[in-house]
Structure 1
Amino acid sequence: MKKLELRKQFLNLRKKNYRANLSISPNRFVRFLKKKNIKSKKVGGYFPYNNEMSVLNILEFLEKKKYHISLPVIGKKNSMNFIRWSHIEPLKINKYGIPEPLSLNKIKPDILLIPLVAFDNRLNRLGYGGGFYDRYLSKLQKNSKIIKIGIGFSFQKVKHLPINKHDQKLDYIITEKNFFE
């Protein structure tokens, strides 16, 4: 099945099966970081959109533990950067309808939480098709290592995703039920 067909199928599946209360507990997430010996304090998250699993509880929890939190902002030529953000700060809506920070304080996260449309056992991710995360990760990984953690629901897993040379593989995927590595 082609990416476009899979994307449509899984966006419909996510819409149909979405439950706002289905998420990953912040304590479970922190235990995961400790188990994997991930000590960085700079986390790039996302504001949930279009029935994505929310990570806002995780971001707020991490912020209280003195982590530096950031959210993506779409810039010129569809570039993406991460901007420092606090859960008490207001957001603006971008051209895609996604909330973004108002600040201009860029941050380079060492841990990146990435929303999923679908994923497979090989840690491949299907996104919305804009390539924002793939371009950002490709640019960033030239000079530094970033830990890429896909966040999604267990029902978004498929046996195999079609991939191309621009697709960036994840390091881990976390769902409400499992960890994949």
Structure 2
Amino acid sequence: MSQCHTPTIYDYKTVEEQKSFLRKRAKAALKEYCSDLPLMEQTAKSVVTSVTNSDEYKNATMILGFMPMNDEVDIVPLMKQALKDKKKVAVPKMAKSGNDMDFYLIDDFDGDFTSDNKYNIREPSENCTKLSPDQIPSDALIFVPGLVFNLEGARLGRGKGYYDKYLSRVLDCDKRIVCGVCFTICVTKAVPIEKNDVRVNYLLNEYGFISLK
């Protein structure tokens, strides 16, 4: 590989090598991008506006969100607005072992939360009400974080498989609104996918909430 050559996904033969390359590239880009705190705050505000103005949000009775890591889009203000709008809001809690998770309903963001997990991510406590996948209404908005997405709905997560495994349990997942959440710098053309990788059909970033259908 020459010194002037910029590596791409096509320089790697196996899917695992391609995914590893994309993850490393995304994390490096996000480290610098997310250090711009005013930009992060503005993104969180624009996310609220773009989603709440959509018919998909207006018709939704439940929002499945997530507690963002430092290099992810902050959708907490959006979930707080959903609570004000009398929608049900749920966020995930990981199992103590393995790569299973479930969603738990929350009433606010100051109460029953814990960070007692290996990733130090805020999660609802066991005092919150757990949702089974069949309790998720068909009009729910399901927001899914990821490191890399493309405009065909392919998603690359962090490699642990939590969301792919969970969404495979949700009835008619491919017919629901499953929205990938990332910064624009992490939207790329080619994303390798495997049999168990779940696609998204919407995308949310700092520039808007768009359908990929």
TM-score normalized by the length of structure 2: 0.77
Give the drift of 1:50.
3.3
Hey, which of these two has a bigger chunk of helix by percent?
Answer: 2
Query: Please, which moves more after superposition, 116-125 or 84-93?
Result: 84-93
Q: CA RMSD in A?
A: 2.0
Unaligned runs of 5+ in 2: 1-8, 10-17
How many residue pairs align between the two structures? 179
Match of 1:64 among 80, 84, 108: 84
Q: Does 1:25 align with 2:41?
A: no
- Structure 2 partner of 1:118: 148
Q: 2:24 is aligned with what amino acid?
A: K
CA distance in 2, matches of 1:59, 1:8: 29
Q: Distance in 1 between matches of 2:189 and 2:179?
A: 19
Give 1:145 shift: 5.1
Q: Name the counterpart of 2:32.
A: 16
- Rg larger in structure: 2
Mapping 1:133-144, distance limit 5 Å: 133-141=163-171
Q: State the partner residue of 1:98.
A: 121
Deviation at 1:69, TM superposition (A): 0.7
CA distance in 2, matches of 1:48, 1:143: 22
User: Please, which runs of 5 or more residues in structure 1 have no aligned partner?
Assistant: none
Confirm or deny: 8 A CA contact 1:123 1:180 kept in the other structure: no
TM-score of the pair, normalised by structure 1: 0.90
- Name the structure 2 match of 1:148: 178
Equivalent residue number for residue 109 of structure 2? 87
Rounded to whole Å, the distance in 1 between the matches of 2:62 and 2:163 is 17
Say which is worse superposed, 15-24 or 162-171, in terms of deviation: 15-24
Percent sequence identity over aligned pairs: 25
